[in-house]
Amino acid sequence: MSVQTTEPQPTLQDNFIDQLEDAVSGKSIAKRADVLKRVTDLFLSGSGKYSEAQLVLFDEVMIKLIETVEVAARAQFGGRLADAPDAPANVVRRLAFDRAIEVAGPVLSRSERLGEEDLIKNAETMSQEHLLAISKRRSLKEGLTDVLVTRGNRDVLLSAANNSGSQFSSLGISTLVERASSDERLTLSMWSRSDIPRQQMVRLFRQASEGLRLQLEATNPRQVDSIRAAISAASERVQAIARDESVGSRDAHEHLRQLHSDGNLDEAVLFDLLDQGNFDAIAAALSLMCDLPIGSVERALAQGRFEQMLIFAKAVGFSWRTTLALIQFQACGNTVSQAEISQYFASYMRMQARTAQMALQFYRLRESAASP
Q: Which residue has the higher pLDDT, 29 or 296?
A: 296
Q: Model pTM?
A: 0.65
* pLDDT level of residue 12 (50, 70, 90 thresholds): very low
Work out the burial of residue 183: count CB atoms within 10 Å of its CB; fewer than 13 is exposed, 13-18 middle, 19 or more buried: middle
Rounded Cα distance between 107 and 83, Å, is 8
Kindly state the average pLDDT of the residues 328-343.
Answer: 87
Give 153-196 pLDDT, tens digit per residue: 999 999 999 999 999 988 888 788 778 766 778 877 877 677 77
Least confident of 174-183, 209-218, 219-228: 209-218
pLDDT at residue 8 is higher than 60: no
Rounded Cα distance between 162 and 141, Å, is 14
Kindly state the average pLDDT of the residues 1-27.
Answer: 50
Q: Which pLDDT score is estimated for 130?
A: 98
159 touches 184 (CB < 8 A): no
Q: Which pLDDT score is estimated for 16?
A: 47
pLDDT at residue 148 is higher than 70: yes
Domain ranges of the chain: 8-114, 168-245, 247-370
Rounded Cα distance between 27 and 61, Å, is 15
pLDDT at residue 62 is higher than 80: yes
Rounded Cα distance between 234 and 216, Å, is 14
Check residue 98 and give left, alpha or beta (phi > 0: left; psi -120 to 50: alpha): beta
Rounded Cα distance between 330 and 153, Å, is 33
Q: Which residue has the higher pLDDT, 6 or 291?
A: 291
* pLDDT level of residue 305 (50, 70, 90 thresholds): confident
Q: Which pLDDT score is estimated for 2?
A: 46
Q: Which residue has the higher pLDDT, 233 or 101?
A: 101
Instruction: Spell out the alpha helix ranges (H) of 46-70.
Output: 52-66
Rounded Cα distance between 287 and 290, Å, is 5
* pLDDT level of residue 278 (50, 70, 90 thresholds): confident
322 touches 312 (CB < 8 A): no
338: helix, coil or strand?
A: helix
Kindly tell me the sign of the dihedral angle through the C-alpha atoms of 280, 281, 285, 288.
Answer: positive
Angle at 128 between CA 124 and CA 132, to 5 degrees: 100
Least confident of 20-24, 42-46, 272-276, 294-298: 20-24
